Chains A and B, each alone.
Chain A
């Protein structure tokens, strides 16, 4: 694995937000490598720059300085259209607040992505993968929080992305439902071999990762590798 080009690399990433007079340094020279097929959990207190990093890696935002690479494409060199193509073809996102389109049913929310992807799976197949084969035609308002989040996961992976980026996917859920969602992510990671970055501030979740990065103050403070990954089903908090 080590010989191959990593899926994502970042070197010396900085991000400065300017709001009027105030400058916020969200990232301060961050280095990172995501190997192909790896599941990385990103820990860190609120405001440490996790979402900022994820947004840059996912091509939602651009860094102020430093470099970010996807395979051998330098993300920081892509323009808006290039980033859009990158997101469309390679990245799947899952967010804390599900962000489903309320006026579309579960299967339509997934189709929203498969319609523009190159080699997608069928929307109902993606929903079956996350255990929602029975809920295809429900609107978001008719689904529980956990179910909504699983629709969001199905939507993220239906295009068979190279990278799955999850920003606090369990943040709004109770532990039982949270574990169901994590199981779905785990299953996708195993069955499709998707490189996955999962943000959380729940340290327990770190046990399901190949590798854990702890962020603080816009940098990676600490890195550790788990000898074995614990299945999501066994986590409790």
Chain B
């Protein structure tokens, strides 16, 4: 490369370092988010896959009531099946010292004589249960940690109606319970739900399943379609109380994990796009200005015989110079954020190991995308530089054309003071640039609104879903449907003020070729405790016939009010019936279907039964009630509403707050980068004019007013615009984040707008102050002496 031009490049970059850095920071933000998301996604995915593979996570799962062991061989004969493991899986109420509430344990069998074929444990401490020691258990690590349980400790459990004292012999993690979610819960709650692995033969004996199993998992040969196997397994197990097999994709823990990763992937596209677009615009602005300043230098270079492409190359290198600073910063920040973030998630998921080996690909992709954006942004300016006719370039540019604007004609401008007039005409003179400056500031406010909207949304979800809709203090669930007499039994317990039955039936619902697994939930027509609640805050009464389904389920099935859906029940007598959709309602969580409980019992051709009872209690009797419940066999879950709310908040907050704080920082760099560059460019363009005004007797404050007033005015236009864009962006993100499990509502509180505006203003003010210092130091003599 031509050495003098290279020196010029380096010195110009250094001279404009403030602006270079401001642009590089905006670019770096985009690159960092991109690298962070890509590496996080990549690492989580790789770790999950490695985890699944190393510990033989099954690919098809099935639960039955009771099936003879010999069915295992039948399953293994299904084409495409590689291995089959049969287990005993049951829930039990646990009693842990120092914890009042009943804890639900999921007891999962592991073979005592051999190593497990599938779903092996990552043993963290201790050992596996031994043959002939039926009270030995291995605990899920997060559960053990939250109760400070260690190898050698004991806990009490009601197993098949009998109190037993279990000894902790090991602590482990399992690919099957990355997300350990208790029955009926929405979020993992390690205090109230735990997984316990116990000897297979011990559990067979405990649950009267000698020579039988109630849970099967299978792995498949490479390239086998799980759907076909699922169907064959279903057919095989239907007669043994099978409630429908499902593939790995629908396995709860895996499903959660994968949707989280998918959300990350979406995030990796939306935000970097905003940042890189703004960076491109900034480069457009700055390069345009640089080339205007260097007009005569360009003419001169051409006069000496430099070719158009030499000139184009020079300014392209300038852009790439800025870009490379951005890339270097972005890579660095992105790498650390990615690592930090991945670690955080790994901790959250309790992965036994972590593969953080981000591929060069993510980094290259980020660099290419951002340098591409930078070049596109600068393309116009560079082209203009290359095309400047040398003779013309040597002459100073003609003074910009100012015209009386519409405002002027209204006689409005005439009433303003001179500085304000200059300021307004400047904006009118550069409408496109002014627009982009305002748009840039607006974008940063928009990013702030979008990121802080999550908090509003979560609070709103909690308010609607838990606080308004649910009037119960406590819900008690049973593993199998119980006669409704149990409702009366519970009502007689101490401190119980009111009770309400609920019946949940495992089923497949169908319409045309759409089929979904969705429990049908039976509730009283007018619920007092657990209410069917529309997202708009409307309580729904259930009709005497037909179903009321969530709009999500209606969408998944492609049905509307008035259509009929087929319900294929997967338990009891396995009836299949058709029911009309009577009403649909909006809900944030899940895709539920409700029916009047009596109607459901009739369709099931069964006596009135319940699977859960919701209770309202007198808090003074709480402890006594808990003691009683712990002694009630066949209870599979006790959900305390308050605790559920807390876990929900905590879990959401844990993952989302991290993001929000990143974005606040990034949005600030955005606002800062835009305003700093806008003001610096104005200053460079109008240094002479402003110095002349100073010579004419205007004060520093008046000069700053002319220059920064322009930025301030644009900022004030930008703020409401930013709120508007933020709203749009938020609804876009909300849609992108929609999963079958939950939809984040579109709620933005006034205070969120307020904060976004305040933070945006602060970032703008900081950059204005930096420029103001330059205005104050404006060297009058030097400015007037130079030609341009």
**A108-B305 contact, Cβ under 8 Å, with A60-B390, A60-B394, A99-B297:** no
Residues of A close to B296: CB separation below 8 A: 97, 99
- Residues of B in contact, count (CB < 8 Å): 26
Q: Is residue B5 within 8 Å, beta carbon to beta carbon, of the partner chain?
A: yes
Contact of B3 with A88 in the complex, beta carbons under 8 Å: no
Q: Within the complex, what minimum Cβ distance (angstroms) separates A91 from chain B?
A: 8
Q: Within the complex, what minimum Cβ distance (angstroms) separates B401 from chain A?
A: 11
Name the segment of A67-75, A109-117, A191-199, A205-213 touching the other chain: A109-117
**A60-B391 contact, Cβ under 8 Å, with A81-B307, A89-B305, A112-B304:** yes
Q: Is residue B427 within 8 Å, beta carbon to beta carbon, of the partner chain?
A: no
> Which of B15, B297, B304, B787 contacts A116 (CB under 8 A)?
B304
Q: Within the complex, what minimum Cβ distance (angstroms) separates A151 from chain B?
A: 13
Residues of B close to A115: CB separation below 8 A: 2-5
Most chain B CB within 10 A, of A91, A103, A111, is at A103
Alpha-carbon distance between A61 and B297 when the two chains are bound, in angstroms: 16
Q: Is residue B432 within 8 Å, beta carbon to beta carbon, of the partner chain?
A: no
Q: How many A-B residue pairs have CB under 8 A?
A: 80
Proximity string of chain B (11-37) to chain A, C-beta cutoff 8 Å, 1 when within and 0 when not? 110010000000000000000000000
Contact of A108 with B4 in the complex, beta carbons under 8 Å: yes
Contact of B305 with A87 in the complex, beta carbons under 8 Å: yes
**A93-B304 contact, Cβ under 8 Å, with A99-B394, A108-B4, A116-B2:** yes
Q: Is residue B410 within 8 Å, beta carbon to beta carbon, of the partner chain?
A: no
Which residues, 289 to 319 on B, are CB-close (under 8 Å) to A?
A: 296-297, 299-308
Proximity string of chain B (388-431) to chain A, C-beta cutoff 8 Å, 1 when within and 0 when not? 01110010000000000000000000000000000000000000
Q: Which applies to chain B's interface (DSSP): helix, strand, loop or mixed?
A: helix
Alpha-carbon distance between A55 and B300 when the two chains are bound, in angstroms: 12
Contact of B306 with A116 in the complex, beta carbons under 8 Å: yes
Alpha-carbon distance between A117 and B302 when the two chains are bound, in angstroms: 13
Q: Is residue B488 within 8 Å, beta carbon to beta carbon, of the partner chain?
A: no
Alpha-carbon distance between A58 and B303 when the two chains are bound, in angstroms: 8
Q: Is residue B54 within 8 Å, beta carbon to beta carbon, of the partner chain?
A: no
Q: Is residue A84 within 8 Å, beta carbon to beta carbon, of the partner chain?
A: yes
Alpha-carbon distance between A177 and B28 when the two chains are bound, in angstroms: 51
- Residues of A in contact, count (CB < 8 Å): 29
Q: Which residue of B lies closest to A86 (CB)?
A: B305
Q: Within the complex, what minimum Cβ distance (angstroms) separates A194 from chain B?
A: 16
Residues of A close to B306: CB separation below 8 A: 84, 88, 116
Alpha-carbon distance between A113 and B303 when the two chains are bound, in angstroms: 10
Which residues, 75 to 94 on A, are CB-close (under 8 Å) to B?
A: 80-81, 84-89, 91, 93
Residues of A close to B113: CB separation below 8 A: none
**A60-B303 contact, Cβ under 8 Å, with A99-B296, A99-B394, A103-B12:** yes
Q: Within the complex, what minimum Cβ distance (angstroms) separates A117 from chain B?
A: 8
Residues of A close to B15: CB separation below 8 A: 103
Q: Is residue B696 within 8 Å, beta carbon to beta carbon, of the partner chain?
A: no
Q: Is residue B7 within 8 Å, beta carbon to beta carbon, of the partner chain?
A: yes
Alpha-carbon distance between A15 and B11 when the two chains are bound, in angstroms: 39
Listed by A's residue number, 22 A-B pairs whose Cβ atoms lie within 8 Å are: A60-B302, A84-B307, A87-B302, A87-B304, A91-B303, A93-B300, A93-B303, A99-B296, A99-B297, A101-B4, A101-B8, A103-B8, A104-B8, A104-B11, A108-B3, A108-B4, A108-B7, A112-B2, A115-B2, A115-B3, A115-B5, A116-B2
Known: A104-B4, A109-B4, A115-B3. 8 other contacts (CB 8 A): A58-B303, A93-B303, A101-B300, A104-B7, A108-B8, A112-B2, A116-B305, A155-B304
B contacts, CB < 8 Å to A = 2-5, 7-8, 11-12, 15, 296-297, 299-308, 389-391, 394, 787
